[in-house]
Structure 1
Amino acid sequence: MDRFAAMKTFVRVAELGTLSAAAREFGLTQPAVSQQIAALERHLDTRLFHRSTRQLALTEGGETYYQHARQILQAVDEAEESTGELSAGLRGNLRLHGPVGFGQMHLSPIVIEFQHLHPELTIELVLDDRFADLIAEGVDVAIRFGDLKSSDLVARKLATFERILVASPNYLVAHGNPEKPQDLLQHRHIRFAWSPQGEAIPLVGPDGPVTVPVRSTFLANNAFVLNEALCAGLGIGGAQVPLIQSLLDEGKLVRVLPDYSYAPMDIHVVYATARFMPRKVRAFIDHLASSLKRVPGLRTIRIPEKNV
């Protein structure tokens, strides 16, 4: 038995929760993965998983072995990475995750530029508005918006941006310009389908926070669709300034209730550990932080990483 290979397989099975998922990742058959785990259990003389028809769960001994095995694998990666510092170029795989709208408009050209700089890297960019499980999904770096929930990950705040109410000039000519937040209930509203506030929007104005009821008549789960609806004059809606700055500059959209806005939104870069950061991860984060300075509507920030 190749103990190191079996250890790597065990760690990914523990993180992914199934033999088949680990087999797909390693390009192995499920029986081959099962045999590696069984051989490791015989070598350790302990049961590592509780097995069911759908998923595997670590035993107490398996959890202890997982924590030690993961540290060992990270130490090996660190040793190899340190040696790799002496050689030119970044190599290996880099898996990135980010939100759809910002990802399509601003993140994808940043990633493409990074690929040009490091052609020996294999980069995978996944755009999805949900929060990915970095460990289970093998994500090296995630870009996340808003407040971060407590976890065992490390985060670094890179930038912040405004979210404002906008509409097309044609809509305002036809329906009037609201003079106070309460007037929004008399207007057609455009919003994300999954908005947690539903038929109310939280704004911040001269006198502090205020929650305003609205009447949503067009909903979508994609920022670009919503922006098209706004430009088409379907109503008033909130938008992220980095996604509409060009539309504001061209006069296709105008700001509504300029004394009011949503709370600012923070952009964080999130990764698994600060103890050992692979050179490719460090290089991409530095490239991202530098590139965000060119994005209209963003205010970049230099804050050290922290555990979240």
Structure 2
Amino acid sequence: MDRFAAMKTFVRVAELGTLSAAARELGLTQPAVSQQVAALERHLDVRLFHRSTRQLALTEGGETYYQHARQILQAVDEAEESAGELSTTLRGNLRVHGPVGFGQMHLSPIIIEFQRLHPDLTIELVLDDRFADLIAEGVDVAIRFGDLKSSDLIARKLATFERILVASPDYIAAHGTPRTPDDLIQHRYIRFSWSPQGESIPLIGPHGPLVAQIRSTFLANNAFVLNEALCASLGIGGAQVPLVQSLLDSAKLIRILPDYAYAPMDVHVVYATARFLPRKVRAFIDHLATSLQAIPGLRTNRIPEKNV
């Protein structure tokens, strides 16, 4: 038995919860993964998992071994990283997770350029509007918007952007211009399907926060679809400035109620807590921070990293 390989396999099974998921990620067959785990259990003379038809759960002994195994694998990575500092070439795999709309418009060209600069890296970009479990899903770096929940991750704030109310000139010509937030209920509204506020939107105005009632007539779970609906004069909607700046510049969309906006949204880069930051991750974060400065509608900054 290759104890080091079995340890790596065990750790990914523990984090992903199933043999099949670990097999897919590791490029192995499910029987091969099962055999490695079984061989490790025989070597340790400890049952590592409670097995059920759906998922595996760590036993008490398995949890203890998992914590130590993770530290050992991290130490090996750190040793290899230290040796690799003498080389300028970045190698290995880099998995990046980001939101769909921003990812398609802005993140993908940034990552493509990073790949061009570091051709020996294998890069995977996963676009999804949910918050990924970085450890379980093997994500090296995630880009997240808004407030961050408390966790054992490290976060670095890179930028802030506005979210404003917009509509097409044709819609305003046909339906009139709302003069106050209270007027929005008289208009057709376009919004994300999963908006937690539903038929009310929190805004900030000259006199502080307020909540405006709306009447949604078009909903979608994709920012580009919503932008198309706005340009097609289907209604008024909220928009992230970096995603609509070109539409504002070309006058396909115009800002309405300019004294009111959603609360500004922060852009964070998030990665798993570790005693060291791999060179590939550090290099990508630096590349990302620099590249964001060129995106219209983003206010970039240099905020130290923090635990979240």
Q: TM-score range with shorter-chain normalisation?
A: over 0.9
Which secondary structure does the structure 1 equivalent of 2:43 belong to?
A: helix
Aligned runs of 1:200-239 on 2, under 5 Å? 200-239=200-239
What is the Cα deviation at residue 173 of structure 1? 1.1
Task: Pick which of 74-83 and 270-279 moved more.
Answer: 270-279
Q: Does 1:56 align with 2:29?
A: no
Counterpart CA distance in 2 for 1:241 and 1:30 is: 46
In structure 1, the residue matched to 2:137 is 137
Aligned runs of 1:114-129 on 2, under 5 Å? 114-129=114-129
What is the Cα deviation at residue 278 of structure 1? 0.9
What is the Cα deviation at residue 87 of structure 1? 1.9
Aligned runs of 1:78-117 on 2, under 5 Å? 78-117=78-117
Q: Match for 2:53: what amino acid? A: T
Counterpart CA distance in 1 for 2:26 and 2:102 is: 31
In structure 1, the residue matched to 2:14 is 14
Counterpart CA distance in 2 for 1:176 and 1:195 is: 26
Query: For each residue in 1:271-291, what CA deviation from the matched residue of structure 2 results, as whole angstroms up to 9, or x when unmatched?
Result: 112412111010000000010
Counterpart CA distance in 1 for 2:145 and 2:236 is: 23
Q: Match for 2:77: what amino acid? A: D
What is the Cα deviation at residue 89 of structure 1? 0.9
Q: Match for 1:157: what amino acid? A: K
CA RMSD, Structure 1 to Structure 2 (Å): 0.9
Aligned runs of 1:161-172 on 2, under 5 Å? 161-172=161-172
Query: For each residue in 1:169-206, what CA deviation from the matched residue of structure 2 results, as whole angstroms up to 9, or x when unmatched?
Result: 11111111111100000000000111111111100011
Q: Match for 2:138: what amino acid? A: G
Query: For each residue in 1:76-110, what CA deviation from the matched residue of structure 2 results, as whole angstroms up to 9, or x when unmatched?
Result: 00100111111231111111110010011110110
In structure 2, the residue matched to 1:257 is 257
Counterpart CA distance in 1 for 2:251 and 2:24 is: 50
**Could you state the TM-score of these two structures normalised by the residue count of structure 1?**
0.98
Counterpart CA distance in 1 for 2:279 and 2:70 is: 19
Which secondary structure does the structure 1 equivalent of 2:238 belong to?
A: strand
What is the Cα deviation at residue 304 of structure 1? 1.1
Q: Match for 1:162: what amino acid? A: E
What is the Cα deviation at residue 301 of structure 1? 1.5
Counterpart CA distance in 2 for 1:27 and 1:170 is: 54
Counterpart CA distance in 2 for 1:278 and 1:7 is: 20
What is the Cα deviation at residue 26 of structure 1? 1.7
Task: Pick which of 32-41 and 206-215 moved more.
Answer: 32-41
Task: Pick which of 81-90 and 256-265 moved more.
Answer: 81-90
Q: Does 1:283 align with 2:306?
A: no
Aligned-residue identity in percent: 86
Counterpart CA distance in 2 for 1:128 and 1:274 is: 24
Counterpart CA distance in 2 for 1:307 and 1:46 is: 34
What is the Cα deviation at residue 307 of structure 1? 1.2
In structure 1, the residue matched to 2:247 is 247
Flag structure 1 segments of 5+ consecutive residues without an equivalent.
Answer: none
Q: Does 1:66 align with 2:40?
A: no
Counterpart CA distance in 1 for 2:26 and 2:226 is: 40
Q: Match for 1:35: what amino acid? A: Q
Task: Pick which of 43-52 and 282-291 moved more.
Answer: 43-52
Aligned residues: 308
Q: Match for 2:142: what amino acid? A: A
Which secondary structure does the structure 2 equivalent of 1:28 belong to?
A: coil
Counterpart CA distance in 1 for 2:117 and 2:84 is: 17
Q: Match for 1:92: what amino acid? A: G
Query: For each residue in 1:136-169, what CA deviation from the matched residue of structure 2 results, as whole angstroms up to 9, or x when unmatched?
Result: 1111111011111111111111100000000011
Counterpart CA distance in 2 for 1:218 and 1:23 is: 42
Which secondary structure does the structure 1 equivalent of 2:50 belong to?
A: strand
Counterpart CA distance in 1 for 2:298 and 2:208 is: 23
Which secondary structure does the structure 2 equivalent of 1:150 belong to?
A: coil
Query: For each residue in 1:100-144, what CA deviation from the matched residue of structure 2 results, as whole angstroms up to 9, or x when unmatched?
Result: 100111101100110110011111111111111111111111101
Counterpart CA distance in 1 for 2:72 and 2:226 is: 48
Counterpart CA distance in 1 for 2:303 and 2:86 is: 29
Counterpart CA distance in 1 for 2:59 and 2:189 is: 51
